[in-house]
């Protein structure tokens, strides 16, 4: 009899110890769960904030850095590691945190994909009359050809055609178009159509060795000088001449209220032999050749990356729903209801 009572007492004692151990283990799990949920919420908020800034300001060069891309990618991986443990729990707060983590993952994918596909703002390197296809994209940009008369008169051939396998868009000056992870903006930019003739008035070929289109008579002034004025250069191979050109929109201090160019002519791989200024449409004889600059504007397209609107919207909605659900679960737990 005493043996039976002793055995039962040992069994009860063991059961109490086991229950105590289970409670302690459950308490640690709840603490770990709360930490994981809070970490997921914080990471999701940070990823959503970075993606939102990129969505609103795609041409902000400061945000398009590899450090931000790496940080968002690591945050996405961390959210992926937290998602599985949160989904295994059946509590309200855990499921809400899981939804927020899933939203952060989707948003991180959208941000990193935009940086890898399009990246920071960059000017499209193309000449009038040519096509351009962005890397890793099915888009095709068709730039209109231009004549000296149309350029000088700022003609209507200023619309760039965007096309994909199924859709076609028109990009007009000062317009921005968003297509998946790409943001394209067209701006009117100073341009000069150059006509060069020999002393015998024979037309000569104009080349641009430093620019994307080697044989093109249209200068698009891709860079600026120390004084902020736009500059470009071209060559006339048949006459062994190299010409540097600086564009001025005007010079009010000298009484000039129309665009003009200042140029310097050098021998091929040699010293400068002549210089001068020219206004639109008026031939200038310098350096043993006759130059005519037709000045006007031509659209320049700048491409930048931004999170895909569909992925970004889905990720943001999941993150917001998860945060709201987590807060509601916390309020339910504070009121003594199951969370």
Contact 159, 174 (CB under 8 A): no
pLDDT at 137: 81
Determine the pLDDT at residue 153.
Answer: 61
The per-residue pLDDT for 157 is: 52
List, in order, residues 6 or more apart from 60 with CB less than 8 Å away.
53, 54
> What confidence category does residue 337 fall into, taking pLDDT thresholds of 50, 70 and 90?
low
The pLDDT confidence band at residue 245, using thresholds 50, 70 and 90, is very high
Q: Which H or E run includes 55?
A: helix 2-56
Q: Please tell me the distance from the alpha carbon of residue 29 to that of residue 23, in angstroms, as a whole number.
A: 10
> Alpha helices, DSSP H only, in 230-289?
none
Higher model confidence: residue 7 or residue 272? 272
Higher per-residue pLDDT: 45 or 331:
45
Instruction: Tell me if 111 sits within 8 A of 72, measured CB to CB.
Output: yes
Alpha helices, DSSP H, located in the chain: 2-56, 66-88, 92-117, 148-152, 309-334
What is the predicted pLDDT for the residue at 334? 53
pLDDT at residue 64 tops 70: yes
Average pLDDT, the chain: 82
Reduced to 3 states (helix: H, G, I; strand: E, B; else coil), residue 127 is coil
CA within 13 Å, CB half, 293: 30
- Whole-angstrom distance, CA of residue 295 vs CA of residue 145: 15
Strand, coil or helix: what is 39? helix
Question: Which pLDDT tens digit goes with each residue over 280-328?
Answer: 889 999 888 999 999 988 889 999 999 999 999 999 999 998 888 888 8
Q: Percent of the chain scored above 70 by pLDDT?
A: 87
Going by C-alpha positions, the residue among 215, 212, 213, 275 that lies closest to residue 243 is 275
pLDDT digit string (tens) for 118-129? 889 999 888 888
Q: Facing residues of 231 across strands?
A: 223, 246
Q: What is the Cα Rg of the chain in Å?
A: 33
Give me the pLDDT at residue 332, please: 62
* 141: nearest Cα among 298, 297, 301: 301
Q: What is the pLDDT of residue 74?
A: 94
How far apart are the C-alpha atoms of 248 and 237, rounded to whole Å? 26
pLDDT tens for each residue of 164-215: 878 888 888 888 888 888 999 988 889 999 999 988 888 888 888 877 778 8
137 CB-side CA count, 13 A: 24
């Amino acid at each position: 009899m005493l043996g039976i009572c002793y055995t039962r007492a040992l069994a009860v004692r063991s059961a109490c110890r086991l229950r105590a151990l289970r409670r302690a283990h459950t308490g640690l799990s709840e603490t770990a769960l709360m930490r994981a949920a809070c970490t997921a919420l914080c990471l999701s908020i940070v990823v959503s904030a970075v993606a939102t800034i990129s969505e609103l300001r795609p041409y902000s060069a400061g945000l398009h850095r590899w450090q931000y891309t790496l940080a968002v990618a690591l945050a996405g991986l961390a959210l992926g590691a937290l998602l599985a443990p949160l989904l295994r729990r059946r509590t309200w707060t855990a499921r809400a945190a899981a939804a927020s983590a899933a939203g952060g993952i989707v948003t991180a994918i959208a941000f990193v994909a935009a940086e890898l596909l399009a990246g920071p703002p960059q000017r499209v390197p193309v000449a009038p009359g040519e096509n351009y296809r962005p890397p890793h994209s099915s888009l095709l940009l068709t730039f209109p050809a231009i004549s000296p008369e149309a350029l000088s008169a700022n003609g209507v051939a200023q619309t760039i055609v965007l096309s994909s396998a199924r859709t076609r868009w028109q990009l007009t000056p000062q317009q921005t178009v968003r297509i998946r992870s790409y943001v394209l903006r067209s701006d009117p930019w100073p341009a000069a159509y150059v006509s060069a003739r020999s002393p015998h008035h024979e037309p000569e070929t104009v080349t641009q060795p430093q620019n994307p289109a080697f044989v093109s008579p249209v200068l698009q002034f891709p860079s600026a000088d120390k004084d902020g004025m736009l500059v470009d250069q071209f060559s006339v191979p048949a006459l062994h001449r190299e010409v540097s050109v600086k564009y001025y929109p005007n010079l009010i201090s000298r009484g000039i209220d129309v665009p003009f160019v200042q140029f310097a002519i050098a021998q091929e791989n040699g010293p400068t032999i002549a210089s001068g200024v020219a206004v639109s449409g008026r031939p200038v004889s310098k350096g043993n050749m006759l130059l005519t600059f037709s000045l006007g504007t031509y659209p320049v397209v700048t491409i930048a990356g931004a999170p895909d609107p569909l992925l970004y919207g889905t990720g943001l909605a999941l993150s917001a729903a998860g945060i709201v659900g987590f807060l509601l679960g916390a309020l339910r737990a504070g009121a003594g209801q199951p969370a």
